Amino acid sequence: MCRVSQPHVLIVSYWFPPAVGAAAERMVAFAQYLAELDWRVSVLCAEHGPPTVLDGVSIYPVADPLKKDGPAFADYDPRISPPAWKSFARRFIFPDRFVKWRKAAETHLAEKREQIDADIVLASFPPASVAMLGVAAAKLLNIPLVLDYRDRWLGEGGYAPESPKQRAKHEALERDCVRAASGITTVSENMARAMIAEHGLDQQRVAVVANGYFPEADERDEASADIDNRIEAEAASAENATVPTASTTSEPKALTIAHVGTVIARNHPDRFFNLLQRTRETSSDALNNIRFDFVGNLSRDYLSSLNLGNTVTTTGLVDRATARTAMRDANALLLLVGDYVGHWGHNAKLFEYVQTGHPILCIETTPESNDGQLLRQFVPDRSFFADFNDPSQLVDAINALQAYLQARPTAALELGAGFRAYSRREQTETLATFMASLLKDRSP
In tens digits, what is the pLDDT along the chain, a chain of 444 residues? 444 579 999 999 999 999 988 899 999 999 999 999 999 999 999 999 998 899 999 999 999 998 877 666 789 999 987 766 666 666 778 999 999 999 999 999 999 999 999 999 999 999 999 999 999 999 999 999 999 999 999 998 899 998 999 999 999 999 999 999 999 999 999 999 999 999 999 999 999 999 999 875 433 333 333 333 332 333 333 333 333 333 334 455 789 999 999 999 999 999 999 999 999 999 878 899 999 999 999 999 999 999 998 899 999 888 888 988 999 999 999 999 999 999 999 998 999 999 999 999 999 998 889 999 999 999 999 999 999 999 999 999 999 999 999 987 666 667 878 899 999 999 999 999 999 999 997 765
Task: State the Cα torsion 81-87-90-91 to the nearest 10°.
Answer: 130
- Report the SS3 class of residue 230: coil
Question: Is the same domain home to 272 and 402?
Answer: yes
Chain centroid to Cα 42, Å, comes to 22
Q: How far is CA 85 from the centre of its chain?
A: 26
Interior/surface letters 249-276, b for 16+ CB within 10 angstroms, e for the rest: eeeeebbbbbbbbbbbebbbbeebbebb
311 shares its domain with 174: no
133 and 49 fall within a common domain: yes
Looking at the structure, tell me whether residues 208 and 233 fall in a common domain.
no
Give the pLDDT confidence score for residue 8 in this predicted structure.
98
Together in a domain, 71 and 206: yes
Say whether pTM exceeds 0.75: yes
429, 410: one domain: no
Does residue 126 have a cis peptide bond before it, meaning omega lies within 30 degrees of 0? Answer: yes
- The verdict on 83 and 137 lying in the same domain is yes
Which residue type, as a one-letter code, is found at position 202?
D
Same domain, 148 and 238: no
57 lies in a domain? yes
Q: Give the residue numbers spanning the domain of 312.
A: 226-415
Q: What is the pLDDT of residue 100?
A: 95
Together in a domain, 190 and 258: no
337 closest CA partner among 294, 307, 367: 367
Helices 349-356 and 370-378 meet at what angle, rounded to 10? 20
Q: Answer yes or no: is 111 within a domain.
A: yes
Beta-strand (E) ranges in 276-372? 290-295, 312-314, 332-337, 360-364
The helix (H) or strand (E) run that includes residue 123 is strand 120-125
Identify the CATH number of the domain in which residue 39 sits: 3.40.50.2000
- Does residue 3 fall inside a structural domain? no
Peptide bond before residue 18 is cis, with ω within 30 degrees of 0: yes
Quick one: which of 210, 380, 361 has its CA closest to 275?
361
Same structural domain, 97 and 242: no
Q: What is the pLDDT of residue 334?
A: 98
CB 340, CB 369: distance < 8 Å: no
95: preceding bond cis by omega (within 30 degrees):
yes
Contact between 48 and 271 (Cβ < 8 Å): no
d(CA 64, CA 330): 39
- What is the tally of structural domains in the chain? 2
Determine, yes or no, domain membership for 260: yes
Q: Is there a domain that residue 407 lies in?
A: yes
Give the length of the chain: 444
Cβ atoms of 154 and 44 closer than 8 Å: no
Do residues 238 and 380 both lie within one domain? yes
Asked if residue 220 belongs to a domain, the reply is: no
Same domain (yes/no): 250, 311: yes
User: Looking at residue 35, what is its pLDDT?
Assistant: 97
- H or E stretch covering 13: strand 8-13
Q: What is the pLDDT of residue 215?
A: 74
